[in-house]
A and B are shown apart, each in its own frame.
Chain A
Amino acid sequence: MSKPARAVGIEITGVNLSYGATHVLKDVALSIRPGEFFAFLGPSGCGKTTLLRLIAGFAQAQTGKVLLDGQDVAPLPPWKRDVGMVFQSYALWPHMTVAKNVAFGLEERRLPRAEIDRRVAQALDLVGLSAYAERRPAQLSGGQQQRVAVARTIAIEPKVLLLDEPLSNLDAKMRVSVRRELRSLQQRLGLTTIFVTHDQEEANTICDRIAVMDAGTVQQVGTPMELYENPANLFVANFLGSANILDERAGVPIPSGKRLVFRPQHAALTSPESAPLRGPVTHREFLGATVRYAVRIGDSEVLIETPFQSGSELRDVGDNVGVDLPARRMLFLPA
């Protein structure tokens, strides 16, 4: 914990997992690099938590392998894996003090008392809770409980750190500060970390790379910017930021079997005569820095966001407008 341990990589290949008739993970393959802050991002029910639990040993796959530092972990029960997991509910034991909670894993490893005390103090110091060692979990705020859960996990110096929606039980303000803390802690420890979330902003702000998941499959892996700029399919385009999706009925040439995708802020409004995409404004929302228009094109509605400066002229609902979209901003994705 003091000295950054040698970071460990994770290889997941050909994983299929079913609970009865429900196919939860389908042919999942991922490669997580040593020291990386990696996110599993997707809507609820996409299999991201199951994949995390598979790595921790709380779920069994029917096929495929999970390699930790090149070693297959399938034969290892959860208590022999050395992967630290921070639970969504924190799972702090209410019958133990904060210090006892943090000491638990060290006691299970039969370390000498002095060593345990030293590492408990160090872990609590790292998360800034040294003054709370003798409190009970119920006496702490949600953010403090979360830090105890992290301290308890990193005290055992795990090979990798798994975070299961660690911010979901915090209020909006806490989330921003806690995620920065998590990021800086991970940087200091150099620990390979997997972060499970359904919130794209959380994933974008603190993770090196993201695996976007839906319906049990990995849709795309990449850095936040790669995913935003070059989504591999409609799901990824829609899940990271908002996207307008048009088919061939829109009035512009679209390759067959594909859809035209573009971001609201990449288009501008112009006169209807000069643009192939045109239609009436159906809604207008003033957002401060931008104005968001909804424009009906054929059967679809697209959103256009234009910067707002004082004095600039706004379109009204019912106005016929054209949508000016530069060719380099057009994405053609499989339907």
Chain B
Amino acid sequence: MSSIRSPGQIALALAIALFLGVFLIVPVATVVYVAFTEKGGGGLTLVNFLDFGRTDLFVRSFWNSVYVSAMTVVWASVLALPLAYLTTRFEFRGAMLVQTLGFLPLIMPPFVGAVAMQLLFGRNGSVNLLLDEWFDFKIGFMEGLNGVIFLQAIHYFPFILVNLSAALRNIDRSMEEAAQNLGSHGLRLFRRIALPLALPGYIAGASLVFVKVFDDVATPLLLNVKEMLAPQAYLRITSIGIDDPMGYVISVVLMLVAVATMWATALVMKGKDYATTQRGGGGLARRQLRPREQALAYAVVIFILALVLAPHVGLVLLSFATVWSYSPLPDGYTLAHYTRVLGDSSVYIKNTLLYAGLAATIDVVIGGAIAYLVLRTRLAGRQWLDWAASTALAVPGVVLGIGYLRAFYGVNLPDGAPLATLWIVIVLAIAIRRLPYALRAAYAALQQISVSLEEAAENLGATKARTVRRVVIPLMTGGLLAGFVTSFATAAVELSAVLILVQSNSDAPLAYGLYVLMQTPAGRGAGAALGVIAVLIVAVCMWLSQLAVDRSQRARGLDI
């Protein structure tokens, strides 16, 4: 690794710093500043926070959000624990099925299926109609906060499942064999040895779920739950206006909760990094299930799978339904919704492809550049770029949206229109939101390339810039491509920041169109059709990204 600081590298670092400063730091700082400023532009004050604490609605919303997030973690754990235990400790053919579940939340964010889930599990939804008819009772799956918890739990439990399974697989098998040797077995062994050792993985997944649910705007709103904190921030800004300080105070509270959760997670994990896979390691020999156990295991897996697929199934049904209300299944089927969205609503799809494409390109370029600067140069302060980009993780989408609105509304273009109303601002907000993920992909891609490959090029006379162009970028292509596709797919269904920033329907992406259409019974069918299209776009992207990674691995002989 050379320690020469070339002017090109310095210019690159400064350009990235400027970008992050203007489109991440300034908007967030603006939100914080306004929250601490007296209304009408006075001096610094805490009075807004006192108002927040004195307003019943906000306090109630805060505790509702805490309750919903915590209960989501509980229910997500209830779903994830048996699956993780089954797939990591038993010879079980359903394991593959369970592993694929891990991708589902990436394919469809919870708000997309919200209305469909109302129709399936609501007071007069399919399941309750059937329960009422057969057994004469109903279950309030979707009543108030329960609905949010139910929907979020079945969407986000795979985050816990994936982290927990990985942690369980990484436990050295002698850890559990030693316990068996000393007389322990079964669930008791799992509780006393495996679970404590896998706790860091579980906590990582659980805190991620907590933050995601706490920050979610669209899912509660689509279920008509307004008394939660993130929806309150959105409603305050859109109904009272960008001068009202409470929207900013709520935003600061949202960020504090996100940061506090991450901090608490780090605190709990401290000293608990039980990397127990040692030499002679490998996972515990998986036990064969007895026929009765096997039947039970399949029943559990199929039950959970049915829950996970329910929003997707409901969405597809809704998108083809003529009328669907007060009946277990739609009254009739039609293609009209698809004709409609592919006709007059096709602008949503066009905008989505444009925005997500641009945002993903920005992410890959900036993520790749930061990864290169951090891993391959000795520029002073290069680590700050990484930290700055990663802080986006703690900024909820609605907060970023509010920040953009406030920071760029006063900035006028030559023709007099505020900068904040331009569609490119939506792209930038999405790009900033997805940047941390693209950055991780770029790190992973660059870390696989040995430095000696670059040194060989320099030794043979290539300059730094030419080495990057002829050696580094070609070798990173697979990883960067995967990063691009993942960013693209998740950007295509990004809503919370978009919700605040969209000024007119003609500039709106698909997620926004879906949100608007879903508000009215007449628009639901078309909304669902948009949802199905979104899911298809994302699913194809995920598949392409997997293909890109596989191909680049194989091309370099890294058979996996």
Question: Which residues of A line the B interface, CB within 8 A?
Answer: 56-58, 77-81, 83-85, 87-89, 91, 93-95, 104-105, 108-109, 152-153, 156
Contacts and interface: CB of A to CB of B under 8 A. Distances in A.
Given A79-B184, A89-B279, A94-B197, A104 B179 contact: yes
Contacts of A91: 172, 174-175, 177-178
Contacts of A88: 174, 280
Nearest to B272: A95
Contact of A78 (B180, B197, B281): B180
Interface in B160-212: 172, 174-175, 177-185, 188, 192-193, 196-197, 199
B181 A56 contact: yes
B276 interface: yes
Contacts of B278: 89
On chain B, which size bracket covers the interface? 20 to 34
Contact of B177 (A78, A94, A104, A152): A78
B177 A156 contact: no
Contacts of A80: 183
A153 B183 CA distance: 11
A93 B171 CA distance: 10
B196 A95 contact: yes
Contact of B174 (A87, A108, A152): A87
B182 A108 contact: yes
8 contacts: A58-B180, A78-B185, A79-B185, A83-B181, A91-B175, A93-B193, A94-B197, A104-B182
Given A88-B174, A89-B280, A94 B274 contact: yes
Interface centre among B175, B183, B188 (most CB of A within 10 A): B183
CB-based closest 7 A-B pairs: A105-B182, A91-B174, A91-B178, A108-B183, A78-B180, A87-B174, A79-B185
Contacts of B192: 104
A78 B281 CA distance: 19
Nearest to A138: B271
A244 to B, nearest CB: 35
Contacts of B199: 95
Contact of B182 (A89, A95, A156): A156
Interface in B308-359: none
Interface of B: 172, 174-175, 177-185, 188, 192-193, 196-197, 199, 272, 274, 276, 278-281, 285
B174 A89 contact: yes
B172 A79 contact: no
Contacts of B180: 57-58, 77-79
B342 to A, nearest CB: 54
Contacts of A56: 177, 181
A83 B182 CA distance: 8
B174 A79 contact: no
Nearest to B175: A91
A302 B237 CA distance: 92
Nearest to B274: A94
Contacts of A78: 177, 180-181, 185
Contacts of A93: 175, 178-179, 193, 196-197
Contacts of A81: 181
A174 B272 CA distance: 29
Given A79-B180, A89-B279, A152-B182, A95 B197 contact: yes
Given A89-B174, A91-B174, A84 B197 contact: no
A164 B69 CA distance: 47
A81 B185 CA distance: 12
Contacts of B175: 91, 93
A184 to B, nearest CB: 24
B378 to A, nearest CB: 33
Given A91-B178, A93-B175, A108-B183, 4 more contacts: A57-B180, A78-B177, A93-B193, A152-B178
B190 to A, nearest CB: 13
Contacts of B281: 89
A85 B178 contact: yes
A105 B192 CA distance: 12
Contacts of B185: 77-79
Contact of A104 (B184, B276, B285): B184
A36 to B, nearest CB: 21
Contact of A94 (B179, B184, B276): B276
A137 to B, nearest CB: 10
Contact of A109 (B181, B183, B285): B183
B178 A95 contact: no
Nearest to A81: B181
Nearest to B284: A58
A331 B157 CA distance: 70
Contacts of B274: 94-95
Contacts of A95: 196-197, 199, 272, 274
Contacts of B172: 89, 91
Contacts of A58: 177, 180, 285
Contact of A87 (B178, B193, B272): B178
B181 A79 contact: yes
Given A93-B193, A93-B197, A84 B181 contact: yes
Nearest to B189: A79
Nearest to B285: A58
A58 B279 CA distance: 18
Contacts of B197: 93-95
A104 to B, nearest CB: 6
A287 to B, nearest CB: 33
Contacts of A79: 180-185
Given A91-B174, A93-B175, A85 B181 contact: yes
A91 to B, nearest CB: 4
A83 B199 CA distance: 30
Nearest to B172: A89
B184 A108 contact: yes
Most chain-A CB neighbours within 10 Å: which of B178, B181, B184, B278?
Answer: B181
